[in-house]
Amino acid sequence: MAATGQARIDPLSRVVDADGLDEMIASLRSHGRTVIGPVVRDEVITHDQVESAEDLPLGWTEDQDGGRYRLEPTGTDERFAFSSPSTSWKRFLFPERTLLIRARRSNGEVSVVEPEPEAPPVAFFGIRSCDLAALGILDRVFLDPGAVDPTYAARRPDVFIVAVGCNRPGNTCFCASMDTGPSPTAGYDIAMSELHGEGDTEYIVDIGSERGADLVASIGSRPATEGDLNRADRAHETAVAAMGRELRQEHVPLAALDPDHPRWADVAERCLACGNCTMVCPTCFCSTTEESTDLSGTETERWRVWDSCFSLDFTHLHGGSVRTSTRSRYRQWLLHKLVTWQDQFDTSGCVGCGRCVTWCPVGIDLTAEIAALAAPAAATGEECEA
């Protein structure tokens, strides 16, 4: 992203209007892809199948804060004037439920079938930079050469990615401090920036792959001007300045130093251990297995299902659970996400989307907890537990 006012022309950048978005979606669908994008449903912006640009959140934004989410009209023709949808994209690659094996008993013999992973051709249309970074983190987890996940490995490579820069970060967003946004820089086939304010809303389109170039060549567009690119730069800088929160990286390792810091007890008093934060997180990947048998007792199935480290039974071993207190489970989640992931995957497990703050029923703020834990216990004015 060039500095505001810096003259530049990118010969590969094109500009499309709303009709161009329709053409993109139609082209992706004509190639057999299911196009998944942001939609308004059940009073939230979420993800679902889209068939045209009219299915996108035209004229909608949202007001987010700790434990609060409200849709609000923009009064404009913008389609991406929101921050993070209520759900992440991981469920299309790492489904909530996955059949692992099916066993059947017949005539005294047992046959076991391991279903082939389904890999429907899809396009992610309108994915934000933070969620794009989250896919990169999940790649490290599920495509590790020593432990490849078959379902993820079957679905991930063919996903067509249309990313969109975030011009209106929410009050719970902090992707700028995580270096994951608000504008996409890599990992996409096409990246767009929504330009609003001078007539009808338009979209700068940047190409990230050969198949992205083929798609752009097949739709109506015009070359981007210096003015277009500078408008995109200004939108990016405005978004960075509008971040509702910040996670200071120097605080993260300090937060892990004192396991008896009084803040752990404080957050445990507020935390409901409901697991909402892990369900909406775009990088959490905890799972468990469930066995189900039909009433005749002749067929059984084993399913992988999402789970949460906030569940009491998640660490259940012989003799009971390893982490019996909410305090210990919250500490495990927070420090695994921000500290030990660095050791495991050479990256933070957080992309700064802010969903965990928004969808926490009591509004626990990860950024505030890290800042408090980084301060010496004596500086908080609280006394440590005996």
Strands 34-41 and 122-127: parallel
Q: Are 90 and 138 a contacting pair, CB within 8 Å?
A: yes
| Average pLDDT score over residue span 203-231 | 95
Q: What is the structure's pLDDT at 344?
A: 84
The pTM (predicted TM-score) of the whole model is: 0.91
In 3-state terms, what secondary structure has residue 218? coil
Reduced to 3 states, what is the DSSP secondary structure of residue 357? helix
Residue 75 neighbours by CB under 8 Å, 6+ apart: 59
**Extended beta strands in the chain, E state:** 14-16, 34-41, 44-49, 60-65, 68-73, 97-106, 109-113, 122-127, 160-164, 190-195, 202-207, 222-223, 287-293, 299-306, 316-317, 320-321
pLDDT reading at 383 higher than 80: no
pLDDT in tens, 40-80: 999 999 999 999 999 999 999 999 999 999 999 999 999 99
- Check whether 11 has a pLDDT greater than 90: no
Q: What is the mean pLDDT of residues 354-358?
A: 96
What is the average per-residue pLDDT within 322-328?
92
Q: In what order do the strands lie in the sheet with 34-41?
A: 44-49, 34-41, 122-127, 160-164, 190-195, 202-207, 14-16, 222-223
Cα distances (Å, whole numbers) of residue 248 to 25, 55, 331, 367: 39, 37, 18, 8
Instruction: Give the pairing of strands 190-195 and 202-207.
Output: antiparallel
With left for phi above 0 and alpha for psi between -120 and 50, is residue 131 left, alpha or beta? alpha
| pLDDT at residue 156 in the model | 96
What are the distances in angstroms from CA 228 to CA 85, 204, 211, 303? Answer: 27, 7, 24, 50
Whether 163 and 191 have beta carbons less than 8 Å apart is answered as yes
Percent of the chain residues topping a pLDDT of 90: 84
Question: What is residue 78's three-state secondary structure?
Answer: coil
382: left (phi > 0), else alpha (psi -120 to 50), else beta?
beta
Q: What is the mean pLDDT of residues 353-366?
A: 96
**Tens digits of residue pLDDT in 231-290:** 999 999 999 999 989 999 999 999 999 999 999 999 999 999 999 999 999 999 999 999
The per-residue pLDDT for 316 is 84
Quote the tokens at residue 352.
């700064």
Residues 117, 121, 126, 128, CA torsion sign:
positive
Q: What is the mean pLDDT of residues 358-362?
A: 97
Instruction: Compute and round to an integer the Cα radius of gyration of the chain.
Output: 23
Angstrom CA distances, 87 to 98, 228, 281, 284, stand at 18, 31, 8, 12
305 within 8 A of 287, measured Cβ to Cβ: yes
Q: What is the DSSP letter of 169?
A: -
